[in-house]
Chains A and B, each alone.
Chain A
Amino acid sequence: MSDRAATLDTITGLIEPFNKKGVALTEATTFAGDLEWDSLTVMDFVAAVEDEFDIVITMNMQADIETVGQLADAVEKLKTA
């Protein structure tokens, strides 16, 4: 499994406890639209992702991340930074 595929896999796992509606996840799934997360859920989820990968995703970066795939890309970039 490539690094990115492993990252995507981990992110998918982290989404599950917050995926109250059981939405089927793809790279194109959006956090606000498809998962219908409010800002508080986003905060908790981002903290979980940060702690899992030992990174910081600033609020400035979060503003540009809308989909699961974009999050995987961002995490990959931050891991190697």
Chain B
Amino acid sequence: MAAFLLRRLVNYMVLIAVATSLAYMLAATALSPRSNYEGRNPRPPAAVIDAQLSRYNLNDHTPLFERYLRWAGGVLRGDLGSTWNGDRVDAEIGRRIGVTLRLILLGVVLGSVAGVLVGAYAAVRQYGWFDRLSTAVAFVVLAIPTVVLANTLIIGAVWLNDHLGAQIFLVSGEATPGFEGGVAGGLLDRVKHLVLPTVSLAVGQIAVYSRYQRNMMLDVLDADFIRTAMAKGLRRRTALVKHALRTALIPAVTYFAFTFGSLLVGATITESVFGWHGMGEELVASIRTNDVNTVAAISCFAALAVLLASLASDVLHAVLDPRVRVG
């Protein structure tokens, strides 16, 4: 068992290393931090720019491989390098992970729980009105890109705020800057900011989970063991909750781990539209600002998140399903 886990971890490390290196090479070749300095007004002298860039290990006149080695050496010591204007990448990333977590946690949990419930109920009442309605709604929701959904939510919120004459929904940022009004007021302010992004994340998740759970549930509804449970004397409803839902829940839970991992860097649009300064927004910003080291760091973090999520989903699967547990 230990040897197996070790082999798997080594494989993960190799994958992360190769992926991050590839991303670094690509970013270092394609992005030009030099242009950031050259675009300044007044334009600094070339020697100054060179010195500045070299200090941050961003000078494109240094051979790529040399830059790579210096960067990789730093990463191995736990130093992710500097941004194009000299800030520490580690600090920036650390701050933004917190923001992203605060943003997605509620949306993902809400979306998965509601989606599973909707899907399970739709399956039990297959072809009933609820099933038809939830299927139709899920199809429409799945066809709405996050961009459209998020912007539509903002349009709707602004319209509502205008008509009610009160700022019920706040559409930009995580909290009102410089807000004064005590702890309770501050919390309320944060909630007002959180509602719309959470909805925009959760709606899509509900649609995905409800479709998924409905199919899983349909697969077990006719299973022999449900018949056995009823033959023992359980009522249909009890048999469905105790035996069918418990069994059909396994794939949804493992899927949850996976979604969570991919959203850590994947909530780009939600973050950008609602002005949350999280990882996803940083991803776009770092490319726009030719920030090579940040791009590499985000790649590393994304690779880590995906692999940890897949490991977590495997572990969860093994915990929930005795059939795949190691004997």
Are these two chains actual partners, yes or no?
Answer: no
